[in-house]
Copies of this chain bind each other. A is one copy, B any other.
């Protein structure tokens, strides 16, 4: 978001101009350059030029954060000839550090190496204070580190009876002089640590200082005697209706050290959000019970990831939370009932920054801070804000539709000019719930389905097994549990394949075509069901897609499509340039099948991408960079919110979208589908491939 490293400064800074013996120093990659008196430490020169060179100990040869890589030779580009003698000799501090911790050959400590002649000095990425976070998702924008909580090593003046002042006041003076940090405060619990730490550390301490992005006073969160090299950590938590995921992140470089997820324990109070709201309405104190359950789960997650990474939870100084509005209220202990009825008023929509303990999170450092991203509207939560932060539609040149599918779908549409947001009540069908053979995505769940359009025979793959059901060895590979049900992405594929094979008609009716006559169709009350897997003979389940399942998927996909269309209407567009599917569902659903079903509006198939857990990524960005917090708060205020519940056109789109389109329906892109690489089925044989080619013709 910010980058002092990218700024260049062609005018040479004249430091100590009265000094006759000076040398020219050029820093790369920034290109910043200046003249300095001989003997100036490289770190000092870097600071004076505003070069992004890290240091925690303030140049005392303790922290080694200021490692530099001097370059020697002719640098025509910079007009400098840099000789080995341009830096002072390797010294004992550097040797001691190298012996103890190791130092890459050619590296020096910037606080020890002094400028003795013209020199070119490279600041390697890991020595940059605002170093970029490494992100796995390729399309994501890079982000620089700028966490709210940082570690500072300070040397504090000893008490003086002739000029009495408190230890905290002398620490504050030292922070002001040595780190330009004004006005620190500290809780009594931290004050208790200050006296012994100062005396044990010989009047030098390391302090974890929290500064918000709104100019509030700096706060000492913790204190260690001398130089603390245990690191500082943050926890990014994505609190979903069904699962809670936590990423333990190093606050110095943004690395994820451990990640873990658990089921949301509130599930025992209701599978979906509205049933939890009902629980709160029907059971006095029910919301308190649900709040406690989620606090316990997050505290346990914190212990678990810290144990996995081998760090002390007391070093977790910050937590960032993203979640939908109902989870947001239940987490904060606010009755969610208002969110279950018009006008869907949030108790608060702003971002929240507060002590984590105040919100029931006590597994972290006692003074740890909690940041909760802003909610966009009553149905569009902090999780949607986190998706917006990770995907930045407001920075997109082309028109992007971002869909985060869960029990509610959060939908963002926009580009540089305008961003719209809404939420659509898709229900839990996409998560495998309320589907007759549905289950959550877990081993044994059918996740991939193909149906031969001629024979109407299915083949499928289950989670945890790479062999298709019609291939040799499937029974063994699927394990003793075998095939247990259908997950969300499996039901999408099953219904889409049933439609493409003619088993389901455009209205969604199973077996309406007279000529079918497949023994895969069985009677299910007054309607029919399509059997995917029948293990009843061996005591296993009958796994089928019923007429009710089709209806549930029709309702869900119509809601999703209608929400997207509503935003498109609002912008006055008929097509979007690209579609991003966020969330676990988005990562696993096949774009082709989603489009066959009519879940998402027309778009080139190769312009449909998955963003993975974009909400979780947004949480980590907010953890690593306070500018990201300020940025998303400003952006959420700008986002145009649409309430689907009161838009008559939403109902119209919803009704119109309940039909199931087909490859020969107005989806010409589908003709290209089979040749696209992102159709990621592990094809087991040419038969299925042939079947699909036939469809595409």
A362 at the interface (CB under 8 A from B): no
* With known contacts A191-B332, A195-B338, A332-B188, A164–B348 Cβ distance under 8 A: no
With the chains together, A169 CA to B189 CA distance in Å?
A: 32
A312 at the interface (CB under 8 A from B): no
Interface segment, one of A67-75, A625-633, A639-647: A639-647
Question: In the complex the two chains form, is B342's CB within 8 Å of A166's CB?
Answer: no
Query: What mask results when residues 362 to 398 of chain A are scored 1 for a CB within 8 Å of chain B, else 0?
Result: 0000000000000111100000000000000000000
A350 at the interface (CB under 8 A from B): yes
Residues of B within 8 A of A7 (CB): none
Q: Shortest Cβ distance from A368 into chain B, in angstroms?
A: 15
Question: In the complex the two chains form, is B161's CB within 8 Å of A643's CB?
Answer: yes
Residues of B within 8 A of A169 (CB): 348-350
* With known contacts A168-B347, A347-B168, A195–B335 Cβ distance under 8 A: yes
Query: What mask results when residues 12 to 48 of chain A are scored 1 for a CB within 8 Å of chain B, else 0?
Result: 0000000000000000000000000000000000000
With the chains together, A651 CA to B450 CA distance in Å?
A: 99
A162 at the interface (CB under 8 A from B): yes
Residues of B within 8 A of A188 (CB): 332-334, 354, 358-359
Q: Shortest Cβ distance from A644 into chain B, in angstroms?
A: 10
Query: What mask results when residues 267 to 305 of chain A are scored 1 for a CB within 8 Å of chain B, else 0?
Result: 000000000000000000000000000000000000000
Partner of A342, one of B161, B354, B359, B643: B161
Query: What mask results when residues 159 to 197 of chain A are scored 1 for a CB within 8 Å of chain B, else 0?
Result: 111111111110000000000000000111101101110
* With known contacts A192-B334, A192-B335, A346–B166 Cβ distance under 8 A: yes
A343 at the interface (CB under 8 A from B): yes
Question: In the complex the two chains form, is B161's CB within 8 Å of A350's CB?
Answer: no
Question: In the complex the two chains form, is B335's CB within 8 Å of A166's CB?
Answer: no
Partner of A343, one of B161, B348, B645: B161
CB-nearest residue of chain B to A645: B161
A345 at the interface (CB under 8 A from B): yes
Question: In the complex the two chains form, is A191's CB within 8 Å of B348's CB?
Answer: yes
Residues of B within 8 A of A97 (CB): none
Query: What mask results when residues 43 to 74 of chain A are scored 1 for a CB within 8 Å of chain B, else 0?
Result: 00000000000000000000000000000000
Residues of B within 8 A of A189 (CB): 333, 358
CB-nearest residue of chain B to A378: B164
* With known contacts A168-B350, A348-B168, A161–B334 Cβ distance under 8 A: no
Question: In the complex the two chains form, is A187's CB within 8 Å of B350's CB?
Answer: no
A344 at the interface (CB under 8 A from B): yes
Q: Shortest Cβ distance from A263 into chain B, in angstroms?
A: 24
Question: In the complex the two chains form, is B354's CB within 8 Å of A167's CB?
Answer: no
With the chains together, A568 CA to B636 CA distance in Å?
A: 64
With the chains together, A342 CA to B158 CA distance in Å?
A: 12
Residues of B within 8 A of A161 (CB): 342-344, 378, 643, 645-646
Q: Shortest Cβ distance from A646 into chain B, in angstroms?
A: 5
CB-nearest residue of chain B to A170: B345
* With known contacts A334-B192, A334-B195, A344–B167 Cβ distance under 8 A: no
With the chains together, A160 CA to B643 CA distance in Å?
A: 10
Of A161, A166, A195, chain B has the most CB atoms within 10 Å of the CB of: A161
Residues of B within 8 A of A645 (CB): 161
Partner of A643, one of B162, B195, B344: B162
Question: In the complex the two chains form, is A187's CB within 8 Å of B347's CB?
Answer: no
The A130-175 residues at the B interface (CB cut-off 8 A) are 158-169
With the chains together, A350 CA to B217 CA distance in Å?
A: 15
Residues of B within 8 A of A332 (CB): 188, 191-192
With the chains together, A346 CA to B189 CA distance in Å?
A: 15
Query: What mask results when residues 312 to 347 of chain A are scored 1 for a CB within 8 Å of chain B, else 0?
Result: 000000000000000000001111001000111111
Residues of B within 8 A of A641 (CB): 163-164
The A464-505 residues at the B interface (CB cut-off 8 A) are none
With the chains together, A348 CA to B333 CA distance in Å?
A: 35
CB-nearest residue of chain B to A338: B195
Q: Shortest Cβ distance from A586 into chain B, in angstroms?
A: 25
Question: In the complex the two chains form, is A347's CB within 8 Å of B195's CB?
Answer: yes
Residues of B within 8 A of A192 (CB): 332-335, 347
Q: Shortest Cβ distance from A171 into chain B, in angstroms?
A: 9
With the chains together, A375 CA to B165 CA distance in Å?
A: 9
CB-nearest residue of chain B to A370: B188
Question: In the complex the two chains form, is B167's CB within 8 Å of A348's CB?
Answer: yes
With the chains together, A620 CA to B347 CA distance in Å?
A: 36
Residues of B within 8 A of A159 (CB): 343-345
Question: In the complex the two chains form, is B191's CB within 8 Å of A375's CB?
Answer: no
Question: In the complex the two chains form, is B195's CB within 8 Å of A349's CB?
Answer: no
Q: Shortest Cβ distance from A410 into chain B, in angstroms?
A: 14
Q: Shortest Cβ distance from A367 into chain B, in angstroms?
A: 10
Q: Shortest Cβ distance from A356 into chain B, in angstroms?
A: 11
Question: In the complex the two chains form, is A167's CB within 8 Å of B646's CB?
Answer: no
The 8 A-B residue pairs with the shortest CB-CB distance, nearest first, are: A159-B345, A166-B349, A168-B348, A164-B377, A166-B348, A166-B346, A161-B643, A161-B343
A-B contact pairs, 27 of them (CB 8 A): A159-B343, A159-B344, A161-B342, A161-B646, A162-B643, A163-B641, A164-B346, A164-B377, A166-B346, A167-B345, A167-B347, A167-B348, A168-B347, A169-B349, A186-B348, A187-B354, A187-B358, A188-B332, A189-B333, A189-B358, A191-B334, A192-B333, A194-B348, A195-B335, A195-B345, A216-B216, A216-B217
Besides the known contacts A164-B377, A167-B346, A168-B347, 6 further A-B residue pairs in the complex with CB atoms under 8 A apart: A159-B345, A160-B343, A161-B342, A164-B376, A189-B333, A192-B333
